[in-house]
Amino acid sequence: MSLKRLIIMRFRIGTRGSALAMWQAKHVAARLQEEFQDIDIELVVIKTRGDKILDTPLAVIGGKGLFTKEIEDELLAEGIDLAVHSLKDLPTELPSGLCIAAILKREDPRDVFVASGAQSLDDLKPGARVGTSSLRRRAFLLNKYPALDIVSIRGNVDTRIKKIDSLNMAGVILAAAGLIRMGYSKKMSFIVDPDVMIPAIGQGALAIEARESDSNVLERLSFLNDPFTETCVSVERAFLERMGGGCQVPMAAYCAPLGSGFQFTAAVVHPDGKPMFREQYVTDSIKPVDGSHIADLLIHKGASRILREVLGRNWRPGSDASLIETI
């Protein structure tokens, strides 16, 4: 009896080169190889604009797709077959021909404080230095703790943690998901209350991007999609799309389970911490249009004043955005 030759499909996965991005790409690769015996996977590291500019705050750099454009260009050019992104880096409007093929089950979306000594933000003394690369985190901190000294820092997880001592900081705020994935859970001093600091839109979720026309890839990726996570982040991203502004304006939206239903919390904060406009919505079922409706409520409450002050008088709701925020 003759043996049939196993036909191998090659999947080229595009990823950034940071330690966390590589972990994420390898995680997806491992899941695919566990599921299918007939695929061979190659990781393709692609340097993005955001990776090249390391001495400027992300909100100052601005622009869509700061950590995704070069990877998407490779997808369109068929240099790679799929790309793994932190969902919060991915613009709400994708290039023509590309789609989100799967959204994996979300890791803990909250923010954490990394330091020695402090057990809560309330323990920090006036003037304490806290490091973050995120305008969102800065604004929420200043809203409740205006006496803190917020220090802008960038770099990988290890670099930021080392800066606690070198920059004489009380600590740094990072995403729990990244620390957990990197095996750094023991470095987390405490979880920041999400009522104080609403998580970033899409934080903790991984998205796989692919070409709409590549049915073989799309079919293979479908098993990775987590419907519950997809529902929640779709509402958050609908809010972001309606608000516009992206990383230039501190805003946040978080859809979470509550009993048998959902709780959706969103806010727009002035970069200096005040004013803040906030809404919370509890429902048995939720869909993306609910995120857009909450955005409209915030706009009508006064968030539009912040958006026009930061983005200019020509700001209009509905423009595309991405929440450019690293771990």
DSSP string, 86-118: EGGGS-SSPPTTEEEEEEPPP----EEEEESS-
Write down the pLDDT at residue 310.
84
Separation CA 69–CA 107 (nearest Å): 24
Which tens digit of pLDDT belongs to each residue from 95-111? 999 999 999 999 999 99
Q: What's domain 9-104+205-225's superfamily in CATH?
A: Periplasmic binding protein-like II (3.40.190.10)
4-8, 65-69, 76-80: the lowest-pLDDT one: 4-8
Q: What is the mean pLDDT of residues 81-91?
A: 94
* 111-191 belongs to CATH 3.40.190.10: yes
Paired tokens of 326: 């690293």
Separation CA 240–CA 259 (nearest Å): 25
pTM, full prediction: 0.90
Q: What is the mean pLDDT of residues 184-205?
A: 95
Which strands sit side by side in the sheet containing 129-132, from one edge to the other? Answer: 149-152, 129-132, 171-175, 111-115, 190-191
Write down the pLDDT at residue 4.
47
Write down the pLDDT at residue 170.
95
How far lies 191's CA from each of 14, 16, 261, in Å?
A: 32, 27, 24
Write down the pLDDT at residue 58.
56
Q: Where in the chain is the domain with CATH 3.40.190.10?
A: 9-104+205-225, 111-191
Q: What is the mean pLDDT of residues 112-135?
A: 92
Helix (H) or strand (E) holding 42: strand 39-45
Q: What is the DSSP letter of 302?
A: I
Q: What angle do CA 138, 191, 177 make, to 5 degrees?
A: 85
Q: How confident is the model at residue 118 (pLDDT cuts 50, 70, 90)?
A: confident
Write down the pLDDT at residue 54.
58
Which tens digit of pLDDT belongs to each residue from 138-151? 999 999 999 999 99
Catalogue the active-site residues: 89
Is 8 or 195 the better-scoring residue by pLDDT?
A: 195
Contacts for 254-261 with beta carbons within 8 Å, 24 or more apart?
A: 254/109, 254/194, 254/198, 254/199, 254/201, 255/231, 255/286, 255/291, 256/109, 256/232, 257/228, 258/282, 260/284, 261/285, 261/286
Separation CA 28–CA 207 (nearest Å): 10
How many residues would you count in the chain? 327
Which tens digit of pLDDT belongs to each residue from 4-33? 455 688 999 999 999 999 999 999 999 999
* 231-311 belongs to CATH 3.20.20.70: no
Q: What is the DSSP letter of 161?
A: H
Separation CA 308–CA 196 (nearest Å): 25
Separation CA 136–CA 180 (nearest Å): 21
Separation CA 262–CA 264 (nearest Å): 6
Is 236 or 115 the better-scoring residue by pLDDT?
A: 236
Write down the pLDDT at residue 57.
56
Write down the pLDDT at residue 290.
97
Q: What is the mean pLDDT of residues 191-207?
A: 96
